[in-house]
Amino acid sequence: MTNALNEDYFPTVIVGAGCAGLTLAHELIGSKNFPCLLVDPQETRPEHAFSFWDDGHPNLALARSLAKKSWSKWEIKTFDRTVVKTSRSFSYSTVSSSSYEQHLTRNINTNNGIILKTKVTKLHKNDDKHKIETSSGKSFYTNNVFDSRPAQPSAKTLFQHFLGWEVSTVAPTFDDTMVTLMDFRVPQKEGFHFMYVLPYSKTSALIESTVYSDKILSSEWYENQITQYLKNFLRCTTYEIIYKEQGAIPLNKKDDVIPFGMPIGLNAGALRTSTGYAFSEIIHQVSSLAKQLKDEKEIGAVGPGYTKLENWMDKVLLDVLSLNPDLAPHIFSTILNTLKGDEFVRFMIGGCPLAIKLKIIRALPKPSFIGAALRSVSP
């Protein structure tokens, strides 16, 4: 292992070469904090969609340029109603994780950054120098360490778990102008469950069966749900499965683990716990960090991304939904119905005006939420 400065020294070491680690290293290219060493034991990264609400922010320019498709119309469906909203100012976009991560990896490698396939095992701090130990037996020295290892979920953690198929159909099957954020017309026995449909064209879409519960289900379970959904609601029995994606996102906030350096990404609370979205927040988080590093500012801890009130509202919402999963169709369709298209996106992005949050609070069923709100503040 060599680098331009000294065999074992890197200006920046990043623990984890996932979305946050790669994005941070990419942002630092050309600065004196580069070359970065990224350390990650994962040999291959599974392909999946990174979907995000796009408000036109310059930090999202790269993701926007690599996006597979964007939409400005979306819906939530229940057995009782279909709520459709549109926006002129915002869009919902999706980029493939492999095209995003491969783009970053290529640029990092071309600029002499190094991604080492091993595990960080220990960090020693000595004044302003850090020593990073890895399971390969090799140690590295640096002035800046960032840690993106996600926290380990605890026993009763609530997960957003899902399996998706990208399908190609012969007959036109999808309305490719509109994303189905949630279609609740599916069995609700295993926690609250919905179908998420990203229509790439009239004949291709990602269809994901998504459940919120503490029990991850067998692949066959989600696959059976998608098959039934295609047949019963999209009237489609002839299709080819192009690829599958699967995941389980723990919706807890970080456990108390001792960080190796400054936490970033999910490890720094970038996840919006009520929705499972983190991608755009990770990009904003590490872009701001990279700017501080380049400006040689004293770096403060990375913020959680969402306001205290939003985090509290998410906690209360998840508490209500864990106890009453059957309320989910009503709650989510009511939130979308109550807000204008732009207001809904501003709420989803985070940091929205209080007036939008009050609109939501006023529209939701009071008894369940008052109980959960009281539980959230009781010791």
State the residues that interact with ligand FAD by CB under 6 A: 15-21, 39-42, 48-52, 119-120, 148-150, 245, 247, 249, 265-266, 277-279, 282
* Closest CB 359 distance from ligand FAD, rounded Å: 24
For ligand FAD, the closer CB: 134 or 334: 134
Whole-number Å distance between alpha carbons of 345 and 339: 9
CA 102 → CA 37, 113, 134, 270, distances in Å? 16, 14, 24, 22
How many other C-beta atoms are found inside a 10 Å radius of the C-beta of residue 231? 11
* Closest CB 367 distance from ligand FAD, rounded Å: 32
Q: What is the DSSP string of 164-192?
A: EEEEEESS----TT-EEEEE--S--TTSE
In this structure, which amino acid lies at residue 339?
A: L
For ligand FAD, the closer CB: 49 or 336: 49
* Closest CB 378 distance from ligand FAD, rounded Å: 31
For ligand FAD, the closer CB: 42 or 109: 42
- Element holding 49 (H helix, E strand): strand 49-54
For ligand FAD, the closer CB: 247 or 371: 247
For ligand FAD, the closer CB: 37 or 293: 37
**Bridge partners, 161 (sequence order):** 211, 248
Q: How does DSSP classify residue 272?
A: B
Whole-number Å distance between alpha carbons of 374 and 205: 42
The CB-nearest residue to ligand FAD is 18
Tokens representing residue 324 in the block: 């009453």
* Closest CB 358 distance from ligand FAD, rounded Å: 26
Radius of gyration of the chain (CA): 22
For ligand FAD, the closer CB: 100 or 174: 100
* Closest CB 48 distance from ligand FAD, rounded Å: 4
* Closest CB 20 distance from ligand FAD, rounded Å: 3
29 neighbors 107 (Cβ within 8 angstroms)? yes
